Structure 1
Amino acid sequence: MKTKLIILTVLLSIVLSACAQEKKESKSTKQSPPNIIYILADDMGIGDLGAYGQKIIQTPNLDKLAARGMKFTQHYSGSAVCAPSRSTLMTGQHTGHTPIRGNKEAGNGLEGQVPIPDNTLTLAEILKERGYTTGMFGKWGLGFGTGDPNNQGFDEFYGYNCQKLAHRYYPPYLNHNQKRDSLEGNDWTKKATYAPDKIQEHRLQFLEDNKDNPFFAYIPLVLPHAEIISPNDSIFKVYNGKFKETPYTIDNKYTSDYGPDIVPHEYASVEKPLATYASMITRIDTYVGQIIDKINELGLAENTIIMFTSDNGPSPEGGTNPDFFNSNAEFKGYKRDLYEGGIRAPFIVVWPNKVKEGTVTNHVSTFWDVLPTLTELTESNTPENIDGISFLPTLLNKKGQKQHDHLYWEFNIRGGRKAIRKGDWKGVWYNMNTKKQGDFELYNLSNDVSETNNIAKSHPEIVKELKQLLEESRTESDLFPFHY
């Protein structure tokens, strides 16, 4: 009897211990939010990826990424140019509300762009408060001072703060937090260190250094933004000699070669622009592959969500040829346009065992949705003054996905431009501030995704509704006034 009691006591102890351990592990799992990697290409068209129909340029890693997760077909960038797109991403507010609504220089002899205000609450600050280590590696473009990444929630920053400096891939320095990091062999006359490769080294090191902590890695790539230039390495050799090339020479506007007379913010000439551009897209793909390999090597894949997109449509500048590569797919317009080609973006999300592999969604989403999605996903505090809607239900294939009543964009250059999408209706209005105001254009994206048939005259009631929404969807900005 005594022996039996001892055995029962031991068994009970084992069971209780196992239960306690299971409870502890369950609690530990619950308290371990996923790592987040958000990769943002610069001026890459939706049609530049094989997963979205590209036939010439090779993007095997990104294509595999799309096959392993969810591909969005109706995702939109925050704006048609760099800085405001990044502002919408960081704030969860569209360009009618976000602080930075255009590419505007700081002025008064200061480096960089107009800084995002100190009181701006960014995605990085929210995640940092949640316990994330935050890193930003690439192109910032939201200013020094109050706008500096370290002052806007990022523990570590390496790359370009100033967008004009980012016009060059062989600059003499990059920014590392508050200091300048000189690049070996680069002095505006010599080209030795390709800056994107250097930035990639810091990205991979950040992942290595933070493998034991939840991290948010914001990776705004510089590629394939002009200038169009690439090292003569194995990636370039894939395309070298493949195309009939027309050199982009120093005689072109806004073009200046490396040398004693260089104009740093202009673009270099390029002998083989088609091969060079293709190699820049494949280099992006190579970087993504290296990031995936590093995550797998560190055993972090199961608890890491990876997002990939582009900040606006393809650019026809600096020797690029979007039409040759069908970079904007079937969509009309390029960078700076508010037609679909300027703002429709690729978007791929991978999260093993959470996001079903090989899924495609036509959920209408945009940059300002990323903040509420990630705050919901990480159980962080979501600000109230945002325009975004979480698309987490779509990612997890759950019911209750909310939809936007409408999406809004504004752009105060080139005569003033606005666009709005409500359901399948798309309104585009150019030259709003010119002496002879442009006409309001209306398209039905359900049967005219290329925006070729302006049906505004046939639907005056829809035009009236959308014009009203254009006025109601914004507040005036002193920095970026729309009506002037």
Structure 2
Amino acid sequence: MYILADDLGYGDLSSYGQTHFQTPTLDELAAGGIRFTQHYAGSTVCAPSRVSLMTGRHTGTSYVRGNYETGPRGFGAELPLRPDDLTLGEVLQGAGYRTAAIGKWGMGMDGTTGEPLKKGFDYSYGVLNQAYAHYQYPDSVYVNGRRTAVPGNQGGARGAFSGDLYTEEAIRFITNSADDEPFFVYLAYTTPHAEMLVPEDSLFQRFAGQFEKSPFTKGTQGGGYSAEYGPGYGAYASQEHPFAAYASMVVRMDRDVRRIREALEARGLAENTLILFSSDNGPHAEGGAVPERFASAGPLRGQKRDLYEGGIRVPFIAYWPRGIRQPAVSDHLSSFWDILPTVADLADADLGDYSTDGLSLAPLLTGDTSNQQKHDFLYWEFHERESSNQAVRKGEWKAVRMKPEGPVELYHLPDDLGESEDVSAQHPAVVAEMEDIMREARTLHPLWPLKP
């Protein structure tokens, strides 16, 4: 089971240093499993990060390298996965698993080559258009490719919260699984992404009394247009207490993970179910959220849309009582593109001629650390700004370049985790090596050339 948060920062779990609110369920999973301290998302925004996770390729070789907002289905419809993009779902479906994609998809609309049912999932429930996932009370979801109304959310009503809908679907899928049939659930929450709406129950009220008001007014951020959903689509709702909403979203998701764990226990499956938990990128500053308020990036520099550590280093927890015999904190350098080869390894699935940029983490998970391969480097590119940005992590070094052929910033992370001191002038040989990687790690792409 893979659980993905949306825009959750490296420092947003109490097991990763959060002190303003607590996440006891995920802390328990971290304490009983492996808590990774150097795990990286596929990108610093949604679609390319999720595609990297799903296909095992980084943004230098992936087909989807950005949030592609110019397609025929309108804002947020995204560039779909292609038939030859192998996914986690296809790997496990081929290995005899029953598979489900629940929550935010963003990798292909209904009728395209990237819709979940065509990419290895037997069942799908959630939002295909990733911009429509900005609404925490969606008026419709797609169930096996068919758009279906959410009864409690019609006419602007806020009756069914997205996290509740997705948790209930995941529990239903687990509960209805056959005893002799292994299953895989990809559960992608839309929290704590903006919009900053959450049920105003006792949890929200507690945080509203604990944190100051910082009102956010609809229309000051967000916006956009969708041919399918109309003008104004994507504009975040007003929120008097965005700080309380953010904290409540994270704690509520932690509570939902507990409910899922209890569903596994009720079926007698908790001991032998691998649960992986992470976030698609760093914390956002939208809809009234302020990452600095909760130190959501922890000690790291940057946030969503940055290739500094705060934009791409994310929490990653692996919990598997029967498989992980020795709980640990691991500083192993890992990434989203490692997940597909890991899953294939654990499921004894043959990838055939399909190549990935990842390395299986199965040896580390099962305690065979002497056979755990290590990355020579990790690479990212990002294209939403005026110029294309690139980043490389190699050993103790991190390089960031804000424009092609521009100067390379170099940071020595053991001494400077916050990337505050550029030491490129002192290490020209390392800079030259990083420039070589930035040039050679990518393939050409007609939609995402390196913008000068």
Counterpart AA for 2:367: N
DSSP-derived class of the 1:238 partner: helix
Q: Please give the alpha-carbon distance, in whole angstroms, between the structure 2 residues aligned to 1:324 and 1:109.
A: 36
> How far did residue 195 of structure 1 move?
2.5
After superposition, give the CA deviation of every residue in 1:158-209 in whole Å (9 maximum; x if it has no partner): 0110011101112210111111120113235322222221122111101111
More divergent stretch after superposition (312-321 vs 101-110): 101-110
Q: Please give the alpha-carbon distance, in whole angstroms, between the structure 1 residues aligned to 2:418 and 2:216.
A: 29
Counterpart AA for 1:124: G
Deviation above 6 Å: which 4+ runs of structure 1?
Answer: none
Q: Would you say how many aligned residue pairs link Structure 1 and Structure 2? A: 441
- Is contact 2:403–2:451 with CA below 8 Å preserved after alignment? no
After superposition, give the CA deviation of every residue in 1:392-440 in whole Å (9 maximum; x if it has no partner): 11112212111100000011221110000111111000133xxxx6431
Q: Does 1:69 align with 2:33?
A: yes
Aligned to 2:107: 142
Aligned to 1:315: 284
> How far did residue 443 of structure 1 move?
0.5
Q: Does 1:203 align with 2:170?
A: yes
Aligned to 2:137: 170
Q: Does 1:193 align with 2:147?
A: no
Classify 1:318/1:472 alpha carbon distance in 2 versus 1 (closer, same or farther; 3 Å).
same
More divergent stretch after superposition (474-483 vs 136-145): 474-483
Aligned to 1:430: 402
- The percent of aligned pairs where both chains have the same amino acid is 44
- Is contact 1:188–1:262 with CA below 8 Å preserved after alignment? no
Classify 1:447/1:241 alpha carbon distance in 2 versus 1 (closer, same or farther; 3 Å).
same
Q: Does 1:158 align with 2:130?
A: no
After superposition, give the CA deviation of every residue in 1:24-82 in whole Å (9 maximum; x if it has no partner): xxxxxxxxxxxxx1001000001000100100112111111111111001111111011
Q: Please give the alpha-carbon distance, in whole angstroms, between the structure 2 residues aligned to 1:431 and 1:465.
A: 17
- Is contact 2:410–2:423 with CA below 8 Å preserved after alignment? yes
- Is contact 1:171–1:188 with CA below 8 Å preserved after alignment? no
Q: 1:461 aligns with which of 409, 420, 429?
A: 429
Q: Does 1:387 align with 2:376?
A: no
Counterpart AA for 2:311: G
Classify 1:262/1:479 alpha carbon distance in 2 versus 1 (closer, same or farther; 3 Å).
closer
Q: 2:298 aligns with which of 309, 324, 329?
A: 329
Q: Please give the alpha-carbon distance, in whole angstroms, between the structure 1 residues aligned to 2:42 and 2:297.
A: 17
Counterpart AA for 1:99: Y
- Give TM-score, length-normalised by structure 1: 0.88
- Give TM-score, length-normalised by structure 2: 0.94
- Is contact 1:330–1:450 with CA below 8 Å preserved after alignment? yes
DSSP-derived class of the 2:325 partner: coil
Trace 1:439-450 onto structure 2 (pairs within 5 A). Answer: 439-450=407-418
After superposition, give the CA deviation of every residue in 1:351-377 in whole Å (9 maximum; x if it has no partner): 113213541111100000011111111
Aligned to 1:218: 186
More divergent stretch after superposition (349-358 vs 411-420): 349-358
DSSP-derived class of the 2:299 partner: coil
Q: Please give the alpha-carbon distance, in whole angstroms, between the structure 2 residues aligned to 1:338 and 1:301.
A: 36
Q: Please give the alpha-carbon distance, in whole angstroms, between the structure 2 residues aligned to 1:69 and 1:211.
A: 26
Aligned to 2:248: 279
Counterpart AA for 2:365: L
DSSP-derived class of the 1:428 partner: strand
After superposition, give the CA deviation of every residue in 1:207-239 in whole Å (9 maximum; x if it has no partner): 111142100100111101000111111321331
DSSP-derived class of the 1:205 partner: helix
> How far did residue 100 of structure 1 move?
0.8
- Is contact 1:39–1:221 with CA below 8 Å preserved after alignment? yes
> How far did residue 276 of structure 1 move?
0.6
Q: Does 1:38 align with 2:9?
A: no
Q: Does 1:94 align with 2:35?
A: no
Aligned to 2:376: 405
Counterpart AA for 1:94: H
Q: 1:121 aligns with which of 70, 86, 92?
A: 86
DSSP-derived class of the 2:174 partner: helix
After superposition, give the CA deviation of every residue in 1:241-297 in whole Å (9 maximum; x if it has no partner): 1112111113623369xxx99722111110101111100001110110011000001
Q: Please give the alpha-carbon distance, in whole angstroms, between the structure 1 residues aligned to 2:392 and 2:90.
A: 30
